[in-house]
Amino acid sequence: MDRRDFIALGGVTAGVAMLGRIAEAEAAPIQIPGGQVAVTVPNGSTLAWRVVDGVKVGHLVVSEFDHEFAPGLSARCWGYNRSTPGPLIEAVEGDRVRIYVTNRLPEATTVHWHGMIIPNGMDGVAGLTQKRIAPGETFLYELTLRHPGTYMYHSHFDEMTQMALGTVGMFVVHPKAPRGPHVHRDFSLMLHEWSVKVGARRPDPNEMTDFNVLTFNGKSFPGTEPLLVGKGERVRIRLGNLSAMEHHPIHLHGLNFKVTATDGGYVPESAQHPETTVLVPVGTTRVIELVPEEAGDWAMHCHMTHHVMTQMGHVLSMVGVDTRAVDARLARVAGTMTMGQTGMGNMGDMQMPVPPNSTPMRSATGPFAPIEMGGMFTLIKVRDRVAGADPKAWYAHPTGTVADKASSAAMQRDGIDPNRTP
């Protein structure tokens, strides 16, 4: 703000406005040394810092709010700065950070900095290393980030309840000097699981086995924002899992990758091996790096089949059941039918009304047909050029590169008899 602007605003108001602007400027994105790129958080945000005497100062407010998992399905969740996961905390090796935590929950809380090597009294374990943060109180955590890496943060009081309701987040510390080959895109995805009974307004923290809403950064497909990357670019994806009970084997189509780091540190190059699926156990981070060779819309998902279902997909399967007798009796009740006798796949094609606050069987309309996927499922959209690419657009397949119905000429040519008894 120059002097002329100051005078134009006039008096005390201008003074306040100027302070506001300074705060905004100080909350600008962090500078990451060595040409390293900032982390992209699909469906999420990054914590704003204010620099005071060379110390990065941030503020987490933990509270209850409405969170949307996917179109049509939301619940009352708990989290940081009205989001779950909370904002990505992004800093640089050697930084001194002060993180204020204000508790607006109806019960006490604390914050644990998962994986970080810090003074014991900053570790956030209620009762063991600190007092509880009572409702209405603000605590201060002050940390020097000595080790670069991919970490997490979460409540460490009444964990079963608070984490099941969403008090989780990711924490990335960039190294002072880049390590390994230059990375063009850097993403952070937190894995989580929830039990939201159809029609309920709150996740059930007592659930131990039957999770029906599985999320990347708090979103179920088709609520998940795709990862847009360029062919030949080096891409880093940081995965963290703070689910209540389950490990998630995250599988990428059309690509292979190496695990380059965990929340325990960097994996030496000699120990990195190629994979297409990485198991992310509860309470860990796994960092993978890849260079896509093939353009396209590639699926990225948990390989546990129950974790890529929609919430309504967890209704009773009737495969192989003869329902004629019950159908006859049900016919007297308007608007009812039995389903799934030949499998569940086609059920997604039906336009059936669903109960309020629930995800339908059909999750999204793909370029060829409805996509029978939900939950912990997203897309890596690999494009020849990222600049100008529309992340919402489907991949335009070159002619002759899509699997399709075999012609009888092709079957004749190759000696295929479709009527052969296998």
Residues binding Cu ion (CB under 5 A): 248, 302, 304, 307
Nearer to Cu ion, 122 or 189 (CB): 189
Closest separation between CB of residue 203 and Cu ion, Å? Answer: 16
Give the C-alpha separation, 100 to 97, whole Å.
10
Closest separation between CB of residue 93 and Cu ion, Å? Answer: 32
Look up residue 52 and give its amino acid.
Answer: V
Residues 91, 97 contacting (CB under 8 angstroms)? yes
Give the CA distances from residue 409 to residues 326, 405, 420, in Å, rounded to whole numbers and listed in that order.
Answer: 46, 12, 17
Give the CA distances from residue 85 to residues 169, 210, 262, 408, 421, in Å, rounded to whole numbers and listed in that order.
Answer: 5, 21, 19, 52, 53
Nearer to Cu ion, 307 or 362 (CB): 307
| Antiparallel, parallel or unpaired: β 168-174 and 89-92 | parallel
Residues 336, 323 contacting (CB under 8 angstroms)? no
Nearer to Cu ion, 154 or 248 (CB): 248
Residues 177, 139 contacting (CB under 8 angstroms)? no
3-state secondary structure of 140: strand
Closest separation between CB of residue 192 and Cu ion, Å? Answer: 10
Closest separation between CB of residue 283 and Cu ion, Å? Answer: 14
Closest separation between CB of residue 391 and Cu ion, Å? Answer: 24
Give the CA distances from residue 368 to residues 45, 227, 228, 404, in Å, rounded to whole numbers and listed in that order.
Answer: 32, 21, 21, 11
Nearer to Cu ion, 129 or 276 (CB): 276
Nearer to Cu ion, 38 or 304 (CB): 304
Closest separation between CB of residue 316 and Cu ion, Å? Answer: 21
Closest separation between CB of residue 303 and Cu ion, Å? Answer: 7
| Contacts with 160 (C-beta within 8 Å, 6 or more apart), sequence order | 205, 244
| Antiparallel, parallel or unpaired: β 364-365 and 370-371 | antiparallel
Nearer to Cu ion, 62 or 376 (CB): 376
Nearer to Cu ion, 176 or 247 (CB): 247
